[in-house]
Amino acid sequence: MIIRPGTALGPYEVVAPLDAGGMGSVFRGRDPRLGREVAIKVLPVASMKDERRVKRFLREARAAAAVTHPNIVAIYDVGEAEVDLAAPVGAERVALRFLVEEFVEGPSLRRLLRSGRPPLGRLVEIATGIARGLGAAHEKGLIHRDLKPENVLLDARGTAKIADFGLVRFIYPDTAAPGDEAEKDDVTETLTRSGFVVGTLGYMSPEQVRGDPLGPSSDLFALGIVLYEMLAGETPFSRSAFGDPFTAILKEPTPRVLERIPGTPPRLAHVIERCLEKDAARRYPSAARVLVHLEELRRELRLDTGRAASPRASAVLPTVAAAEPTRRTARPLGGGHQLALALAGGALAVLVAFAGGWAVGRTRPAPASANPVDPRLLADSWRATRVLDGLAERCVAAALSPDGRRAALASAGDGVGAELIVAAPNSSPEAATVAAGFASIEAPAFGNASVLFVGARDGSPSGIWLARLAEAAGLLAAADGEPQPVAEGGEDPAVSPDGSLVVFVRRSAGGSQLWLASPGGAKARPLVSAPGRSLRHPVFVEGGGAVLAVDLADPAGPDAGSGILFSSPLADARLVPFGTGRAVDAGVRPAPLGDGTLIVVSWPDRSAWLLDGAGETARRLPFGAGLTHLAASADGRSVLTRTGNGPLILWRRG
């Protein structure tokens, strides 16, 4: 469409052409009444011949104009004018409809991507702006339906602005599915018409391809595609083996971003993969939830500025600088067969003062205007109650019973002499040995009147053992017979909340598997296989309805020691990313609490964090950084920690 500079469209003056495409022609214009530059979008004549569509377009344009947000291109006006257009012979008088929008002095995201992938920080800034704009519009009931790099503009300051919100299905109906059943009959072009997807199909959601009614989650699918393209330089389904783009969108598996695009921060990879879920119900419930993760990633990247960081290290939980502690090592017995738990008064006072000062200095209460803070997060709600000095040098792993009244502590052995100790640290310094004579003991886990652990003895292969407990002297637990083998070759056992199931890991050269069994080892069966993954530390979550495990990073790579959380529902045995893909210390077992929350130790600063049941929000707990041990009671009232090679400290809340 050729409109000469100086042509008047109502009160607006055309200055110069800017762009043209299926959505119409865009001109730089001027509003002489306000003395400001504007963008004038002249709509295709054919799309405005149906009066019913014109009415709906005007209604939606008014609704879009009511959304004022810095990440949405503002709509100022909708108008109609008759102008003379150049024709093969002379000129033709044509009635045009046009939109008057905010003039954005800057390129589209498409033009930016033509010059290559933007730096990671810039990419996340753009993604954050898009998510903010989507969230603001979705709150007003508007759905874009055609989000793609061409519809994201970048102003002179680099702010991302979404254009054409809510107008696509009325301006150019061939590019998007109708929004509801009532409008399907009015759309003259159907989704099966050849050519309707040109320039748009690569960004459609599965429900959009099928012609189903659309909701905000359809825009989130498109956001996932845009994020993927910013990283990879191509859309996720552009190389599909199906060949047919319709089938690719509907059936191509959700891409594993970390495999396709090495070096992607795990948190960003998780956001993309969840946005690209085929089932709309499995995507984020809102753009606001996406924004939470992108904002957290922005903070992490700012924290990493100026220091060399690996891809996983750039996606850790928000941290403060901390000295890198020495990793725990198994030390030989220093003497004595029975271990004593000594309450060191002077050491306790020093440690309480140190830990309290650390916690108060590193955590601040929320401002009065913020949401109330969970009492478990407040530094002054926790106190160090015991220092277990006698066990510090020998302890390689620890566990707390669900009520926090007992602790199981595994000591290192030098070929022989490893022990499993059960104690009641809240009420008595005494301890009882429930397993001895093993070459090694690790990974204790409480069951019903029992403790499971991984041990090796008598030259036999390592496996899972069960030591039964019997009450003696009140809370103190004593051994009830010799430990019994449960699963040869099994590792990292954990018991379900009701005590009826045990989950553990088996490894092979090609990967690892999660297994389920009864506490005594009967009825063992594989839950899920993970080729190429090194799973460890499985725990039951969701009240026992799912298993969470840590996938260890390449031990020879720069992220050795870190891991990413995955979950597997018992009823649907498959591994899915858990939460935001945050990096955790793979050497410390996650600690699920009875209320559905979860404590993890972050990587690389090794501080304790409380996650919600979905793993999507996190708050730091006041135990300091450099943790090499952490165990928590399921009731959330007791935590056992160790920092570096220091003593074991038992913390109580309240």
The domain ranges of the chain are 1-103, 105-173+199-305, 375-653
CATH number of 1-103: 3.30.200.20
Spatial separation of the C-alpha atoms in residues 449 and 469, rounded to whole Å = 5
Tell me what the mean pLDDT of segment 7-32 comes to.
Answer: 84
pLDDT grade, residue 538 (50/70/90)?
A: very high
| pLDDT higher than 60, residue 332 | no
**pLDDT at residue 373, as a whole number:** 47
Residue 537 has pLDDT above 90, yes or no: yes
Q: Reduced to 3 states, what is the DSSP secondary structure of residue 133? A: helix
What pLDDT band is residue 262 in, cutting at 50, 70 and 90? confident
Q: What is the DSSP string of 224-260?
A: HHHHHHHHHSS-TTTT-TT--HHHHHHHSPPP-HHHH
CATH 2.120.10.30 fits domain 375-653: yes
Residue 451 backbone dihedrals phi, psi, to 5 degrees: -130, 130
What pLDDT does residue 327 have? Answer: 30
Highest mean pLDDT among 194-203, 276-285, 615-624: 276-285
Q: Which residues fall within 8 angstroms of residue 555, CB to CB, at 6 or more apart?
A: 534
CA 548, 554, 556, 561 torsion-angle sign: negative
Q: List, for residues 120-135, the tens digit of each pLDDT value.
A: 999 999 999 999 999 9
- Check whether 558 has a pLDDT greater than 70: no
Q: Which of 10-19, 149-158, 331-340, 530-539 has the lowest mean pLDDT?
A: 331-340
Tokens in use for 479? 């051994």
Checking if the pLDDT of 582 tops 50, the result is: yes
Please enumerate, as own/partner, the contacts of 4-8 that have beta carbons within 8 Å and a separation of 24 or more: 7/83, 8/81, 8/83
Give start and end residues of each alpha helix (H) in 491-577.
none
User: Annotated catalytic sites, by residue?
Assistant: 146
28-42, 149-163, 183-197: the lowest-pLDDT one: 183-197
pLDDT confidence band for 36 (50 / 70 / 90): very high
Minimum mean pLDDT range among 34-48, 146-160, 350-364: 350-364
427-462 pLDDT per residue, tens:
555 677 888 888 888 899 998 888 999 988 776 778
Query: Stretch 269-282: mean pLDDT, rounded?
Result: 91
Please give the C-alpha separations between residue 372 and each of 319, 446, 575, 623, 637, in angstroms, as whole numbers.
Answer: 22, 33, 34, 21, 19
Q: What is the mean pLDDT of residues 613-620?
A: 85
Higher pLDDT, 45 or 38: 38
Which DSSP string corresponds to 569-635? ETTS---EE-TT--EEETTS--EE-TTS-EEEEBTTT--EEEE-TTS--EEE-SS-S-EEEEEE-TT
Q: What is the pLDDT of residues 228-260, one digit of tens each?
A: 999 999 999 876 655 566 778 888 888 889 888
CATH H-level, domain 105-173+199-305: superfamily: Transferase(Phosphotransferase) domain 1 (1.10.510.10)
